């Protein structure tokens, strides 16, 4: 089998095995061969390369204008020469003249290899991008490779991801080969393959972990209505059940805390408060300030704020260390929360 026929056979096989169109490859090859013609003709503006789709034979044609007096033989041909090619040709017509160089078969074979390799890489990159872009806004499991400055390189199987310093949890330190769960923030297509940015600090990571762990969330019985997180320290999550016989908080906690503890372990002992969602803002805010007990909640819908009264001995618990409990409750409910003790409020 000659080299041309081998090329066609190889392209047919590629089409079958990797689903890369033979025509696309041949067009790309023809275009690259036009560029290669510059070495032979000085310029390739009027050059056309044709590869026979069956035999693989390569021919080079120069498209030349028929003129009375030839001043540029690269792009012009005399009327007498044109008539030899086609008796109907006249001044101003374009005639196609074969100018295939003697060594062109070898050049074509070299170019074919380059084009095919490049196209395979492009297609494989495209497949990887499609595969991982489908995981955007979802969780993946990765294996820690190494620290690159303050960033961490994570292997996701066929491709590496970057866990930037901004998306890390303060205080979390990884060892090589640690298996960790990550939230996929973004997948970008680049010439070197997909660039994947992942996060350990995003609130959606906690949400997705519960979705994976809790069957009642998977089947739609229980919904996560709101979530607020200070990564590495504490998360508050409000849940709701569409079935009055199913306890949403109990479903998320699991038997003997099995479900929530699995997530706490994955998050390296981050505390998780799971509360009941309510459509009544006052009740929701009361729940959100858990574990603190609340005496009363007064809502101002206009200002989207709430005044909360708690027993004196519960004030520090309601506010939390460095204000964290109140801050997370405010994020969870969307209300600005002002907490006062009974004494501070004059007993009201």
Contacts of 213 (CB under 8 A, 6+ apart): 254, 259, 262, 263
Tokens found for residue 268: 């390296």
Q: What is the pLDDT of residue 339?
A: 96
For range 279-291, the mean pLDDT: 96
Contacts 24+ apart (CB under 8 A), 168-177: 168/200, 168/201, 169/200, 169/201, 169/231, 169/232, 169/267, 169/268, 169/270, 170/231, 170/232, 171/232, 172/200, 172/232, 172/268, 174/144, 174/147, 175/144, 176/144, 176/145, 176/146, 177/143, 177/144
**pLDDT value of position 258:** 96
CATH topology of domain 3-125: N Utilization Substance Protein A; Chain:P; domain 4 (3.30.1480)
278-348 domain in CATH 3.30.300.20? yes
Question: CB 201: neighbour CB atoms within 10 A?
Answer: 17
Q: Which CATH number fits domain 135-193: 1.20.1440.120, 2.40.50.140, 2.40.110.10, 3.30.565.10?
A: 2.40.50.140
Mean pLDDT of the chain: 89
Tell me the per-residue pLDDT of 253-262, one tens digit each, with 9 for 90 and over. Answer: 999 999 999 9
* pLDDT 10s digits, 63-121: 888 888 888 887 888 888 888 887 788 888 888 888 887 777 777 777 777 877 887 78
**How big is the CA angle at 44 (ends 43 and 47), to the nearest 5 degrees?**
140
Q: Is 74 exposed, middle or buried (0-12, 13-18, 19+ CB in 10 A)?
A: middle
pLDDT range class, residue 294, cuts 50, 70, 90:
very high
């Amino acid at each position: 089998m000659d080299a041309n026929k081998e090329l066609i056979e190889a392209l047919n096989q590629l089409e079958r095995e990797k689903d890369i169109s033979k025509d696309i490859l041949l067009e790309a090859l023809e275009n690259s061969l036009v560029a290669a013609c510059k070495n032979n003709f000085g310029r390739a503006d009027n050059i056309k390369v044709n590869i026979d789709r069956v035999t693989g034979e390569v021919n080079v044609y120069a498209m030349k204008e028929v003129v009375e007096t030839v001043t540029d033989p690269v792009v012009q041909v005399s009327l007498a020469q044109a008539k030899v090619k086609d008796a109907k040709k006249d001044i101003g017509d374009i005639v196609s003249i074969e100018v295939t160089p003697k060594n062109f078969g070898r050049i074509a074979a070299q170019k074919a290899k380059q084009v095919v390799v490049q196209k395979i890489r492009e297609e494989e990159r495209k497949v990887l991008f499609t595969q991982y872009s489908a995981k955007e806004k979802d969780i993946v499991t990765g294996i820690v490779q190494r620290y690159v400055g303050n960033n961490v390189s994570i292997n996701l199987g066929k491709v590496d991801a970057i866990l930037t310093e901004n998306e890390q949890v303060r205080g979390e330190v990884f060892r090589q080969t640690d298996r960790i769960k990550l939230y996929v923030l973004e997948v970008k297509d680049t010439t070197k393959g997909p660039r994947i940015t992942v996060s350990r600090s995003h609130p959606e990571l906690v949400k997705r972990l519960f979705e994976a762990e809790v069957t009642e969330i998977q089947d739609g019985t229980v919904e996560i209505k709101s979530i607020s997180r200070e990564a590495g320290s504490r998360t508050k999550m409000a849940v709701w059940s569409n079935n009055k016989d199913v306890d949403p908080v109990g479903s998320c906690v699991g038997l003997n805390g099995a479900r929530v503890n699995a997530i706490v372990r994955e998050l390296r002992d981050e505390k998780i408060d799971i509360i009941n969602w309510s459509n009544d803002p006052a009740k929701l805010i009361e729940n959100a300030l858990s574990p603190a007990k609340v005496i009363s909640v007064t809502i101002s819908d206009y200002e989207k704020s709430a005044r909360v009264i708690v027993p004196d001995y519960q004030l520090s618990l309601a506010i939390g260390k460095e204000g964290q409990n109140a801050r997370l409750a405010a994020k969870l409910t969307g209300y600005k929360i002002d907490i006062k003790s009974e004494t501070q409020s004059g007993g009201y």
